[in-house]
Structure 1
Amino acid sequence: MKTPMAAFAALWLAACTPADPDPASTPAQATMPVAETPSGAAAPAPPVAEVVDDPLAVNQTIDDVLGDHARYEAVIRQLQQAVAANDAAAVAALVNYPFATVRDGQPLKIADADAFVREYDRIMTPAIADAIKRQKYSQLMVNYKGVMFGNGEAWVNGICKDDACKDVDVRVVALQPTS
Structure 2
Amino acid sequence: MRALILTAAVVAVLAACKPAPGDTAAPAAAPASTAAPANASESAAPAPASETAAPAQASPAVPAPATNDEGRAQVNQSIEEVLGDPAVFEPAILAFQQAVAAHDAEAVARMAAYPFSATIDGKPRKIQDASAFAAAYDQIVTPAIAKIVTGQKYAELFVNGKGVMFGNGEVWLNGICQDKACKQMDVRVIAVQATEAAAAH
TM-score (norm 1): 0.68
Q: Deviations over 1:95-122 (max 9, x none)?
A: 1111112234310211111111110111
- Which residue is equivalent to 1:71? 88
2:129 is matched with which residue?
112
1:87 equivalent to 2:79? Answer no
Inter-partner Cα distance in structure 2 for 1:102 and 1:120: 11
Q: Secondary structure at the match of 2:159?
A: strand
The aligned counterpart of 1:130 is: 147
Alignment coverage as a number of residue pairs: 127
Offset, 1:158? 0.5
Q: Does 1:101 align with 2:102?
A: no
SS in 2 for 1:148: strand
Runs of 4+ off more than 4 Å: none
State the alpha-carbon separation in 2 of the partners of residues 171 and 153 from structure 1.
15
TM-score of the pair, normalised by structure 2: 0.60
* Contiguous gaps of at least 5 residues in structure 1: 1-52
Corresponding letter in the other structure for 2:118? T
Paired residue secondary structure (1:78): helix
Which consecutive unaligned segments of at least 5 residues does structure 2 have?
Answer: 1-69, 197-201
Query: Secondary structure of the equivalent of 2:181?
Result: coil
Q: Which has the higher helix share?
A: 2
Structure showing greater relative contact order (alpha-carbon pairs closer than 8 Å, 6 or more residues apart): 1
Indicate yes or no: 2:180 matched with 1:163: yes
Which of 56, 73, 76 is the aligned partner of 2:73?
Answer: 56
1:172 partner letter: V
